[in-house]
């Protein structure tokens, strides 16, 4: 008897010890992950807030930064301009995106695949390239559209001026309407035809059904799209810098940039960035509230066979509208951009003697800095994508399998950069890591860290979605046959996840190659990337070389995206997975 109870105690003790050991290991893992996330996200944001309340030299508490940031009428005007830009873009992007989404998802409009492809093209075009295209198209007098107008009417002045708030709104809207498109069409794809059939059989025709049933069903998604395009617009740096500055007005992002001109006033910039942060956080909260209400799309059962609405002759009108949007966002700007890239002087037009490859030759062989810049861009983007995916995959695994307590904190932190505009994040990084002790200013490290943080949410949603699609029983089958967890991950999980990880890599890589708004605050002389160089070139007015550089960026992007669609499935980037 005694022996027996001793045994039991021994067993109990061993159990406790092993549990302690397990808890220990998982705590360590948790602490490590938390530390990384705090370093990447929490610390920069907190430093941003703290330094907005600090005196520049002494570090004492002060409100002076806020006073000087909001004390001037010019600064307040910039805020108003940003709001105007955001609202304008949101409205225009909705007018572009929603009808096209409806036409593609619910009707028999012809050429759907082509229109989808063009929306995708608009999606991968960096806004600043679109802006440059539009400067070539609608620059006062010299722009192509103005020249055509003058040739047609004999007028001495053109009628389009891209250097205006209207121009800026147009330029940003044509590059951000894919957001409203993606939101709306993915919601429409979930609406079963039976929802519409039910209204039909009760006596409602197509128009009434669309207005009373279909569109209300996707209203939360449309609002989501509106919010995203609004937030994109106010956080954007490139396009406003290219268009608003020559037009002699500022928006918040360009104003923030000016705080970084000598003498650099980080604390004031931090104070001035607060509304951007606050609005973004607020808007995402609003969006969550709206999307969470009534469980809109949750009510679908089996048998959601989907049929397209026959538009009759109207389908051609719909196609014409879609093509017009494509023309504004892709055909026209890309046409003039490509022309400029291969031209000696873009203003001399489409003649053969104006054709040259010199712009590319210059970039790739003559100008050493440009070569370095191109290499930097793709190298940083590739490292960023690897870093972001390794980190988020580890976190998604830990969260999904509930390996550690409070794993949701990890998930939350991963998604947090979503509500921090790139430009604000960059200022936070600058405030936290540019100066000693880390003194990362001008290093590749700070850029890669900044990019990694910026694209963490994209990486996390992809990793988590990939993991969710894999039944844990796949791994448990390995464990039960005697394999360790690591073996299960190596032999089963990673091979199964290969495709979605490749997709996630591309989803991070592409935006990282074109990222401007955070890069511009973090680059040093030796770490320039294409987006920053494009911006610098535009200040010099060297549009031919600039266009050539833009074409290089686009070609690489398109090739990578094409490989992605081939490997992972058509239009994998246009899926909404957040």
Partner 1 sequence: MSRLKLTGVSKRYGDFLAVDGIDLELQSGEFVSLLGPSGCGKTTTLRMIAGFVDPTLGAIEMDGQILSSPSGSVPPDRRQMSMIFQSYAIWPNMTVEQNVAFGLELRKIARAEVKRRVGEMLEVVHMNHLADRYPAELSGGQQQRVALARAIVIRPSVLLLDEPLSNLDATLREEMRFEIRRLHDEFHVTTVYVTHDQAEAMVTSDRIAVMNHGRIEQVDVPRALYDRPKTRFVAGFIGRTNFIEGSSDGHQIAFDGFALPQSSFERDVAAGSKAVFSVRPHSMRLSETPPAERNGAVGVVVVERAFLGEHWDYVVRPRDGAQTLRVTTSPMQDFPIGATAWLEFEPRQMALIA
Three-state SS sequence of 339-351:
HHHCECCHHHCCC
Residue 455 burial (CB count, 10 A): 27
191 and 216 Cβ atoms separated by less than 8 Å: no
Contacts of 113 by beta carbon, 8 Å cutoff, 6+ apart: none
Residue 167 Cα distances to 138, 170, 531, 572, angstroms: 9, 5, 21, 31
Q: Measured from the CB of residue 220, what is the shortest distance to partner 1 in angstroms?
A: 9
Nearer to partner 1, 204 or 496 (CB): 204
Give me the least distance between CB of 186 and partner 1, in Å please. 16
Rank residues 261 and 305 by Cβ distance to partner 1 and give the closer one.
Answer: 305
What are the distances in angstroms from CA 503 to CA 186, 207, 449, 458, 571?
18, 38, 21, 11, 11
CB atoms within 10 A of CB 289: 10
Residue 202 and residue 559: Cα distance in Å, rounded?
A: 50
CB of 221 or CB of 440, closer to partner 1: 221
Q: Which is nearer to partner 1, 20 or 198 (CB)?
A: 198
Instruction: Give 54's strand partners.
Output: 61
State the nearest-atom distance from the C-beta of 105 to partner 1, in Å. 17
CB of 189 to partner 1, least distance (A): 15
Q: Least separation, in Å, of the C-beta of 206 and partner 1?
A: 9
CB of 224 to partner 1, least distance (A): 15
The nearer residue to partner 1, 63 or 198, going by C-beta atoms, is 198
Taking the least distance from each CB to partner 1, the nearer of 198 and 439 is 198
Q: How far apart are CA 327 and CA 67, in angstroms?
A: 45
Instruction: Give CA–CA dist 49/411, Å, rounded.
Output: 23
Return the number of the residue (107 or 518) whose C-beta is nearest partner 1: 107
In 10 A of CB 369, how many CB atoms? 12
- Cβ-based neighbours of 161, under 8 Å, separated by 6 or more: 138, 139, 140, 167
Chain residues that interact with partner 1, rule: CB under 8 A? 192, 194-195, 197-205, 208, 212-213, 216-217, 219, 294-304, 307
Specify the residue, 186 or 527, whose C-beta has the smaller distance to partner 1. 186
Residue 302 CB, nearest approach to partner 1 (Å): 5
**Which positions ≥6 away from 555 have C-beta within 8 Å?**
none
Measured from the CB atom, the residue of 14 and 198 that comes closer to partner 1 is 198
CA distance 547 to 340: 6
> Rounded distance, CA 353 to CA 362, Å?
18
Q: Which is nearer to partner 1, 156 or 298 (CB)?
A: 298
**What minimum distance in Å lies between the beta carbon of 307 and partner 1?**
8
CA distance 35 to 426: 20
Which stretches of 191-251 are DSSP H helices?
Answer: 193-201, 206-209, 215-235, 238-243
Tokens of 145: 């559209």
Q: Shortest Cβ distance from residue 223 to partner 1 (Å)?
A: 13
Which residue, 520, 561, 178, 533, is CA-closest to 369? 533
Q: In angstroms, what is the minimal distance from the CB of 217 to partner 1?
A: 6
Q: How far is the CB of 292 from partner 1 (least distance, A)?
A: 11
Q: How far is the CB of 306 from partner 1 (least distance, A)?
A: 12
Minimum distance, C-beta of residue 287 to partner 1, in the bound complex (Å): 17
Reported as type and span, the H/E element at residue 485 is helix 485-488
d(CA 371, CA 461): 34
For partner 1, the closer of residues 188 and 381 by Cβ is 188
371, 364 Cβ separation under 8 angstroms: yes
CA separation for the pair 246, 129 (Å, rounded): 16
Instruction: Return the biggest CA–CA distance within the chain.
Output: 112
Counting every residue, how long is the chain? 578
DSSP 453: H
User: Which residue lies nearer to partner 1 by CB, 212 or 570?
Assistant: 212
Q: Cβ(82)–Cβ(250) under 8 Å?
A: no
Count of alpha carbons within 13 angstroms of residue 362, beta-carbon side? 15
Residue 41 and residue 425: Cα distance in Å, rounded?
8
- Residue 302 or 566: which CB sits closer to partner 1? 302
**539: part of which helix (H) or strand (E)?**
helix 530-540
Rounded least distance, CB 576 to partner 1, Å: 19
Closer residue to partner 1 in complex, CB, 203/313: 203
* Residue among 172 and 221 whose Cβ is closer to partner 1: 221
How far is Cα 377 from Cα 516, in angstroms, rounded to an integer?
11
Shortest Å, Cβ 203 to partner 1: 4
């Amino acid at each position: 008897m005694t022996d027996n109870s001793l045994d039991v105690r021994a067993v109990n003790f061993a159990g406790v010890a092993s549990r302690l050991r397990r808890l220990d290991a998982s705590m360590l893992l948790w602490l490590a992950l938390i530390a990384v996330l705090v370093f990447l996200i929490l610390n920069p944001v907190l430093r941003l807030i703290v330094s907005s309340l600090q005196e520049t030299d002494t570090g004492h508490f002060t409100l002076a930064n806020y006073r000087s940031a909001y004390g001037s009428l010019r600064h307040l005007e910039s805020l108003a301009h940003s709001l105007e830009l955001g609202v304008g873009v949101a409205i225009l992007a909705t007018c572009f995106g929603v009808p096209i989404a409806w036409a593609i998802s619910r009707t028999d409009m012809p050429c759907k695949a082509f229109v989808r492809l063009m929306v995708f093209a608009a999606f991968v075009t960096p806004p600043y390239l679109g802006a440059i295209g539009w400067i070539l198209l609608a620059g006062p007098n010299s722009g192509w559209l103005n020249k055509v107008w003058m040739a047609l009417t004999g007028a001495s002045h053109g009628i389009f001026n891209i250097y205006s708030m209207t121009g800026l709104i147009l330029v940003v809207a044509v590059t951000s309407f894919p957001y409203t498109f993606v939101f709306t069409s993915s919601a429409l794809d979930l609406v079963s035809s039976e929802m519409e059939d039910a209204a039909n059989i009760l006596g409602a025709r197509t128009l009434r059904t669309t207005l009373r049933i279909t569109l209300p069903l996707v209203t939360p998604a449309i609002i989501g799209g509106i919010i995203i395009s609004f937030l994109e617009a106010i956080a954007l740096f490139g396009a406003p810098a290219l268009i608003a500055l020559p037009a002699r007005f500022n928006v918040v992002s360009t104003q923030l940039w000016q705080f970084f001109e000598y003498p650099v006033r980080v604390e004031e910039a931090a104070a001035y960035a607060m509304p951007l942060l606050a609005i973004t956080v607020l808007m995402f909260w609003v969006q969550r509230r709206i999307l969470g209400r009534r469980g809109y799309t949750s009510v679908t059962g089996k048998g959601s066979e989907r049929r397209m609405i026959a538009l009759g002759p109207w389908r051609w009108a719909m196609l014409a509208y879609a093509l017009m949007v494509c023309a504004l966002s892709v055909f026209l700007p890309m046409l003039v951009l490509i022309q400029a890239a291969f031209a000696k002087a873009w203003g001399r037009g489409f003649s053969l003697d104006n054709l040259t490859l010199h712009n590319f030759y210059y970039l790739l062989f003559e100008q050493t800095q440009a070569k370095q810049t191109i290499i930097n861009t793709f190298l940083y983007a590739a490292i960023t994508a690897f870093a972001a995916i390794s980190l988020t995959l580890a976190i998604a695994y830990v969260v999904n399998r509930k390996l550690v307590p409070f794993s949701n904190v990890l998930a939350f932190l991963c998604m947090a950069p979503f509500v921090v505009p790139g430009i604000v994040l960059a200022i936070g990084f600058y405030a936290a890591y540019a100066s000693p002790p880390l003194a990362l200013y001008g290093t590749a490290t700070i850029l890669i860290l900044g990019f990694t943080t910026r694209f963490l949410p994209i990486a996390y949603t992809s990793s988590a979605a990939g993991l969710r699609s894999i039944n844990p029983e796949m791994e448990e089958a390995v464990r039960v046959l005697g394999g360790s967890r690591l073996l299960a991950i190596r032999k089963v999980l990673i091979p199964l996840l290969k495709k979605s990880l490749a997709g996630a890599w591309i989803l991070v890589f592409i935006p990282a190659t074109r990222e401007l708004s955070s890069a511009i605050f973090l680059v040093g002389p030796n770490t320039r990337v294409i987006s920053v160089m494009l911006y610098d070139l535009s200040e010099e007015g060297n549009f031919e070389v600039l266009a050539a550089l833009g074409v290089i960026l686009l070609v690489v992007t398109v090739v990578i995206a094409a490989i992605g669609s081939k490997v992972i499935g058509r239009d994998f980037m246009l899926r909404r997975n957040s």
